[in-house]
Chains A and B, each alone.
Chain A
Amino acid sequence: MSATTTSGTVARSGPATLSRKKESRFGGVYGSWATPYLFLLPYLILFITFVIIPAVFGIWMSLHNWDFLLPGKPFVGLENYTALFDSSSVQFEPFWDSIRATAIFVVASVPFLIVLPLGLAVLLNRKFPGRTFFRATFFAPFVLGVAVIGLMWRYLLDPSFGAVNGLLNAVGLPSVNWITEQPWAWISLVGVTIWWTIGFNAIIYLAGLGDISAEQYEAAELDGASKWQQFRNVTVPGLRPVMIFVITTTILASANMFGQSYLITQGAPGTSTRTAIIEITERGLSQYRMGEAAAMSYVLAVFLGLIAILNFYLLREKK
């Protein structure tokens, strides 16, 4: 790539070479008209192949009875979409069950994923020896990825010989069916997600806390504000932009939940923890009913878009 780019720019002679020594015709950097495109080319090839084309091609697929394994992929118009809103269709129940499971997980997990990391960030924002060590420790689970975390917690939460029940028994509490009974299955999945990602949001909050100037706290203290009042009136308003970012990304991340259910509960009990992403990927990439799955993915994307807009609007309005 480097060779082509170099020769491409150098070979371009004539007026461009003449003006080379003096001025910049193209903003900060100097070169021919083709230079920016050559710099962009490698990325744009991938971007067009795996982002732009699929974004359109996916809609096309959703308008067909698209089975990966069959040669014929008959056009069915909006049938894959209308089926999702027709209670007599085959997709109707599994789709809305999975949407409900996703909604439950979002509602149950997001408040904790927003508040607990904030507490951790306030704790870590002090100056104390070993601060970097603790910051890294709380972030560490996140770098492990969902596969490791899922397998580990599946074992720890095992109803008969898991360490979590072992710990409960040791302090005189009864065992709990963490993965085979509701609401425990949801509690497990939310708990594991908190354990896994608490450091991620905490780090984002920490950066936001660092941007609040010390003067604001000093002024509040001079006014006789207590620690809690300082938190309420200096920290929280100062964190507002970061907060909007954290809330939006956390809702979207929770709505994309896949690995925890896939590995820990496997959708059980029943299909209660089978999330929308499990439904879409299993239908499309395992049973190869890709048209139906594509339609589901666009409907889900529209829901998430509406939630993101609503959420943004609500958080903006309060100001």
Chain B
Amino acid sequence: MTTTPTTNATGSTAVSGDGTATSKRRRGKRQRTHPLFWVGLALLSLVIILPLLYMLLTAFKSVQESQTVPPTFWPGEPSLRAFQTLFFTDADSPVLRWLANSLIAATFHAALVVVICSMAGYALARMEFPFKKTLFGIIIATLFLPPFIFMMPNFEILNAFGWLDTLLAIILPGAAGAFGVFFMRQFFSTFPVALEESARIDGAGPWKTFTSIVLPNSRAALVTLTVLSFLANWNDFVFPIYVLFSPERLTLPVGLSKLQGAYTVDYPVIMAGAALAAIPVLILFVFVQRYVIEGVASSGIKG
């Protein structure tokens, strides 16, 4: 769980399983980095970092200071007023509740995806049964259907179950997506059969083999899928806006968009809310960035 280049280089080879890291390194050795390269890289990084820093700093400004022309960068008189408003004074914007809702939804969603997709992916990778190819084909085909065609019918289906305005409305439909199954199936297809065979010789049944041999040796893929699912759910925006209504049921992204309506000109409060949503994922990202990046990188190679 460090971010040193060495760990990450090893980690990436372990996940992708091809020799990319070595070939990059070999080629890289001959390249010399020009001073201009560093200047360019530093400028580009500032373009990414400065807006985020400005957002955070604005949260500590007064309303007046957030609207001064020319704008200030550092808060003249730093205050926690925006956070106080957000946390304690506004009953219609229970931000800490939204934070908790987001955490609960994203955690349950990620856990659910990993459990059901690894089971289904394993069956599709390793077991034989009638119409297996057809089933896999149907699952894959749905990857190509645009998500918006499911919104109207899923709204009605959630309503039929009585799940509108509950966290189930944002935990379950997304977990039915085909990506996780595809991702796990591809991973299990490359898993060495010998390990499973030796487990079988020891008398282990399929479930035992799966839980005690296959899963413990698939940690990288499982973590990648967990993290990608968590982030996708944490940031989910378009559907949650319409299936969550009550102030205390909202997730952070939905709540934030309502803040924009309620605090039109109080940018410190809005930026405090945005920063509150940004900081947990940025911290998480620092620890798991190699899994996220490897997961995204592999999607292009496979696709």
Contacts and interface: CB of A to CB of B under 8 A. Distances in A.
Interface of A: 1-2, 5-6, 9-10, 20-21, 24, 26-31, 33, 35-37, 39-40, 42-44, 46-47, 49-55, 57-58, 61, 66, 68, 120, 123, 125-141, 143-148, 150-156, 160-163, 166, 169-170, 195, 200, 203-211, 213-214, 217, 242, 245-246, 249, 252, 255-256, 258-259, 262-263, 277, 280-281, 284-286, 290, 293-294, 297-298, 300-301, 304-305, 308
Contacts of A169: 69-70
Contacts of A20: 203, 205
A119 to B, nearest CB: 10
Contacts of B54: 156, 163
Nearest to A248: B303
Interface string B35-50: 0010011001101110
B215 to A, nearest CB: 11
B5 A145 contact: no
- 3 smallest beta-carbon distances between A and B, as pairs: A127-B28, A145-B235, A147-B253
A27 B256 contact: no
Contacts of B100: none
A9 B205 contact: yes
B120 interface: yes
A148 B278 contact: yes
B153 to A, nearest CB: 4
B127 A214 contact: no
B193 interface: yes
A125 B273 CA distance: 36
B60 to A, nearest CB: 14
A301 B146 contact: yes
A192 to B, nearest CB: 10
B5 A49 contact: no
20 contacts: A20-B203, A29-B127, A29-B209, A31-B205, A37-B129, A40-B135, A52-B142, A53-B157, A130-B5, A131-B5, A132-B8, A136-B289, A143-B292, A147-B257, A166-B70, A195-B47, A195-B48, A206-B297, A211-B20, A297-B151
B270 interface: yes
Interface string B101-135: 00000000000000111011011111111001001
B237 A61 contact: no
A304 B149 CA distance: 12
Contact of B129 (A36, A138, A256): A36
B282 interface: yes
A166 B68 CA distance: 10
A50 B207 contact: no
B150 A144 contact: no
A161 B129 contact: no
A138 B127 contact: no
A169 to B, nearest CB: 6
B21 A210 contact: yes
Contacts of A252: 146
Interface residues of B, number: 126
A280 to B, nearest CB: 6
A155 B63 CA distance: 12
Nearest to A138: B48
B237 A68 contact: no
A218 to B, nearest CB: 8
Contacts of B25: 127
B31 interface: yes
B150 A123 contact: no
A148 B293 contact: no
Contact of A144 (B281, B289, B301): B281
B154 A28 contact: no
Given A128-B28, A141-B48, 16 more contacts: A42-B116, A43-B181, A53-B157, A128-B33, A130-B5, A139-B289, A143-B281, A147-B254, A151-B273, A151-B274, A209-B24, A210-B23, A255-B146, A259-B237, A284-B151, A290-B155
A294 B153 contact: yes
A24 B175 CA distance: 32
B269 to A, nearest CB: 11
Given A125-B24, A131-B5, A155-B267, A148 B148 contact: no
A36 B146 contact: no
A21 B199 CA distance: 11
Nearest to A145: B235
Contacts of A27: 126-128
B260 A143 contact: no
B162 interface: no
A217 B285 CA distance: 34
B66 interface: yes
B78 interface: no
A20 B55 CA distance: 62
Given A20-B203, A27-B127, A300 B282 contact: no
A166 B71 contact: yes
Contacts of B301: 207-208, 211, 242
Nearest to A304: B146
